[in-house]
Amino acid sequence: MRLARLAALAAIFSFAILPTGTALAADTLSASDCPKGAELRGEAPPKGTEQRCVLILAGDETLHGPIIGWHANGQKAAEGNYYRGLKDGTFLSWYENGQKKLEVTYRKGKAHGPETSWNEQGQKIHHAEYMDGEPDGTWTLWYPTGQKREVKHFKNGKPTGTWTFWRENGQKLEEGGYLGGEKTGVWTTWHESGQKNEETSFAHDIEHGPYTIWYQNGQKWVEGAYENGKKVGIEKRWYKTGERKAEISYIDGKREGISATWYRNREPQSEILYRDGRRDGNARFWNDAGEMRVVTYRKGKVAE
């Protein structure tokens, strides 16, 4: 029985994050607070740290009606309501300092409606919406400073719409869209400076379409394309100072054909032939003095 009581309280305390306000230890339960047929169990402070209403079914206790728990200092820790063992109604929890921690609504054992959490200083840090236990609506997270951290949207438990993430300084970190639970369109990330870091195209939750990566100084670093999650076509790369660095040919996610690299002074550095993702054939290499050597490969290994 004791294990069952502890598990019930743990279920309440597990809500670790939500509105402002303080709890008063004076709130206690009496037998008249329990629904018809239910019995009061436990003791309020200073004799105990929990009170609950239970039904006795086949010799076992089933939570039915209100339940309250207290911290060791006598401050209310959590309260909620059960209907025949299922959470039903509003559940609240508080920090030891009396500050509200979490508020969430249940219906027939499933989260249904708003869920909000706060830190010990009273700052809202999380707000979510549920329908029949599934995420539904807008979810927002905040940093302790009050700056938004994330805004996400759900429909029938699946991600939808635009999702946005920020750094604590308010600078945007990442943004992209979902459709029917799958990533779609262009997803963008930013450097701490606010300069774009990367843009990648998605379709049906996999990379599909062009992608671009930039250095922190704004200079383009990499540019290419995906098709059904695999690199295709020519991927181009540049040095941070803008000079061409490499051109790599892909087919179905594997290097195919000639891949070439250049030194910063625009002189050739290498030309390598690939077949099915492996070096195959004659490859040419130049040192920084312009001297060339030829190496022959067979299926990825240097030919003897």
Tell which residue, 208, 254, 214, has the closest CA to residue 238. 214
Q: What is the pLDDT of residue 27?
A: 84
Banded pLDDT at 301 (limits 50, 70, 90): very high
Contact 90, 79 (CB under 8 A): no
Quote the Cα angle for 11-13-15, to 5°. Answer: 85
Domain ranges of the chain: 1-159
Sign of torsion, CA 201 207 210 213?
positive
Q: What percent of the chain has pLDDT over 70?
A: 91
Per DSSP, 22 falls in state B
pLDDT for position 185: 98
- The mean per-residue pLDDT over the stretch 108-118 comes to 98
- In this model, does residue 302 exceed pLDDT 80? yes
Asked if residue 135 has pLDDT above 80, the reply is: yes
Lowest-pLDDT choice from 15-24, 111-120, 226-235, 251-260: 15-24
Output the CA torsion sign for 109, 110, 114, 118: positive
Lowest mean pLDDT among 16-30, 41-55, 191-205, 282-296: 16-30
Average the pLDDT over 174-181 and give the result: 98
Residue 304's pLDDT band, with cuts at 50, 70 and 90, is confident
Whole-angstrom distance, CA of residue 238 vs CA of residue 301: 28
> Which tokens is 225 given?
């394309």
Average of pLDDT values for 163-167?
Answer: 99
- Return the CATH number of 1-159, one of 2.40.10, 1.10.3470, 1.10.287, 3.90.930: 3.90.930
The pLDDT score that the predictor gives to residue 112 is: 98
Average pLDDT of the residues of the chain: 92
Q: Is the pLDDT of residue 6 over 60?
A: no
Global pTM reads 0.84
The model's pLDDT over 120-131, given as tens digits with 9 standing for 90+, comes to 999 999 999 999
**pLDDT tens per residue across span 32-88:** 999 999 999 999 999 999 999 999 988 899 999 999 999 999 999 999 999 999 999
